[in-house]
Structure 1
Amino acid sequence: MNDPEASPTAVCQVLVENAPQTGTWNMALDEALLESGANAGQCWLRWYRWSEPTVSLGYFQDREIPDELRSLPVVKRLSGGGAILHHHEWTYSVVVPSRHPRARNPPELYAAVHDRIIGVLAELGVMSQMRGSTAAFRDDSFLCFQRGDANDVLIGAHKVLGSAQRRRRGAVLQHGSLLMASSPHAGELPGLHDLGLQQSLGEGLVQKLAISVAELFGEARYLDSAPKNTLEMAAELQQNRYKTDGSFAQ
C-alpha cells in the first residue's frame, strides 16, 4: 500500500544495482541524480554497493585519515556527517524534488526512511530501533558509525544504519549506509549478519527494502539503469570532480 503522505501522482524511479561500482562513480551518479531532482523534479531511490573497501568523507569533513584506513581509496560525499567505511554494506540514496511533500521537512525524511527499514528487518526476525537520544555521544569521531544521532538505527547497542543529507535548489539528497557485516578495517563495527540476520535472508533484503522505501514517495518505477543523459552527466562529474587528486572530490 502506498504511503498516504505521498502524492498520488508521484513516481519514484528505483535502481537496485547488484554490480558493485567504484566510489568515484557512485558519488558522481548520486550527484547527477540530485541534479535530475533539482532540475526536472524527478524522484529517485538507488541501492548500491562498492567494488572495493572505500572511505567516503562527509562534505564538511577534512582529509585527516586515520593510519589504519590510509591505504584505502577516499572520495568525498555531497552529504554531511562523518566518514563511512564502505565495505560489507549497502548504500542507499534517495532524491526528493522540491515539489514533493517529503521535501518539505528534511529532518522528518530520516525517520520516515529508517522506520521503513526497521519494519523490513522486523519481518525478517531482526529487531532494531532508532536511538532516540544522543546524550552520551560526541560528534567528533572520524567514522560516522562511531558517532551518535537520534535517528540512527540500532540492534541492541550497535549502530547498523546512519544517514546524512544535502539540499540543492530545494531538492533533497539523503544518503544512508546499512552495515551487513564487520570489515577487517573496522572490526569493532558489527553488521546485520554479525547481529542475527541469517545469510540466506540477506539475499532478498535489499529488494524488500527498495519496495518498502519507494512506497514513501509514490508509485515505484523500477529501472535497469539511469537514463543516458544522467549517465553522461555522471561520467563527466566522475572525471572532472571525483577523480581529481587521487579519487578525492574537490
Structure 2
Amino acid sequence: MQPKSKWRLIPLLTASGRVQMAIDKWLLSQHQLGLHPPTLRFYTWSPAAISLGYHQSKFPPHWQQLTWNGAPVDLVRRPTGGRAVLHQGDLTYAVVTSGLSGNRTQVYQQLCEFLIQGWQLLGVQLHYGDAGRGYIHNPNCFGTATGADLVLCNGSKLIGSAQLKRCQTILQHGSIRLEPDVELFKQVFGDEAFSPLHLPVVQVEQVIEALTRAASDRFGRQFEVEPLSAAEWEAILAQQLEI
C-alpha cells in the first residue's frame, strides 16, 4: 500500500450513531475530493445503537422498542453494507484511504492486516472467517463470519467490518466486540446468537494503542493526532444521516 504524505489520527470520540456515521461519510467525501488526508479513527456509540447495513430493509419490529440503561437503543443506517450490528460494549474503527488495488476481498484484507497485527500485540490470534453467501439471510452481523471478518481461534467473531468504495476512495469501518451486555445482545439477536469471547483483560486505551502501532507499521506512516475542528464539526453536523 502506498501511503499519502500524511495520515491523520482522530482521537477516541463518543457520540450518537447518527453523528458517528455522519463523520465517517464526511471523511470519505472530503478525501475523495482531495481535501483531507487518509484517516484512522476509533469511536464508541452513546446511546447504545443498532446499525443497519445500507441495503438492509428487514429487521425485527421489537428493535424499535429496545432500551438499555434507561435510554432507547438507537436504530442507525450505515453508509456501508452488511448486516445489523449492536453497538454496546464495543469499539469501532474507521479507515478512510485511497489507491488500493485488488478485488473487494483483497482490499478488505489489506486494511484488516493492522487489526490482526494489533491484536497479536495483545496476545490474541485472529484469522479470517469463511462463511459463504448464506450470511445475507442472517440479520446479525456477528452471526456469521465472512472473508471480511476476523474470528478467534474458537470461531467466535471478534471484528465485523463493512466497506464503501467511491471511485478509488474507500471507507472501511468495523465493530470490535469487547464487553457486550449479554442480556441486551440476546434481546436483539436471540439466545442462540451469543458466543463468549474469552479475551484477555484489556482496556479500550490498550486496544487503541496496539492497533495504532500496528496501523503505523502496516501503512508505513506515523500518524498526526488531530481532533475535529469547530469548522469540521459544523460541516459534519449539517449532513447527519437519517435512517
Quote how far apart the aligned CAs of 1:152 are: 1.7
Q: Is the 8 A contact 1:130 1:150 kept in 2?
A: yes
In structure 2, runs of 5+ residues without a counterpart are 67-72, 187-192
The one-letter amino acid of 2:105's match is P
Counterparts of 1:113 and 1:197, CA distance in 2? 24
Q: Is the 8 A contact 1:151 1:162 kept in 2?
A: yes
Q: 1:136 to 1:43 in 2, by over 3 A?
A: closer
After TM superposition, the structure 1 stretch with the greater mean CA deviation from structure 2, 28-37 or 168-177, is: 168-177
Q: Is the 8 A contact 1:158 1:189 kept in 2?
A: no
CA displacement 1:60-105 (0-9 Å, x = unmatched) = 11153352564221111111000111001111111113xx3x2665
State the percentage of identical aligned residues: 24
Q: 1:69 to 1:121 in 2, by over 3 A?
A: farther
Does 2:58 match 1:60? no
The one-letter amino acid of 2:221's match is E
> What is the TM-score normalised by the length of structure 1?
0.81
Quote how far apart the aligned CAs of 1:121 are: 1.7
Moved over 6 A (4+): none
Counterparts of 2:103 and 2:9, CA distance in 1? 22
Q: 1:66 to 1:210 in 2, by over 3 A?
A: farther
Q: Is the 8 A contact 2:6 2:224 kept in 1?
A: no
Counterparts of 1:14 and 1:221, CA distance in 2? 6
* Matching residue of 1:185: 184
* Matching residue of 1:207: 209
Q: 1:14 to 1:57 in 2, by over 3 A?
A: same
The one-letter amino acid of 2:76's match is V
Quote how far apart the aligned CAs of 1:230 are: 3.0
User: Higher RCO, 1 or 2 (CA under 8 Å, sep at least 6)?
Assistant: 1
Equivalent residues in 2 for 1:1-250, closer than 5 Å: 5-7=1-3, 10-17=5-12, 19-40=13-34, 42-67=37-62, 70-71=65-66, 72-97=73-98, 100=99, 102=100, 105-131=103-129, 133-135=130-132, 137-155=134-152, 156-183=154-181, 184-187=183-186, 188-190=193-195, 194-199=197-202, 202-238=204-240, 242=241, 244=242, 248=243
In structure 1, runs of 5+ residues without a counterpart are none
Q: 1:87 to 1:159 in 2, by over 3 A?
A: same
Quote how far apart the aligned CAs of 1:161 are: 0.5
| Alignment: residue pair count | 228
After TM superposition, the structure 1 stretch with the greater mean CA deviation from structure 2, 75-84 or 161-170, is: 161-170
Counterparts of 1:233 and 1:120, CA distance in 2? 32
* Matching residue of 2:189: none
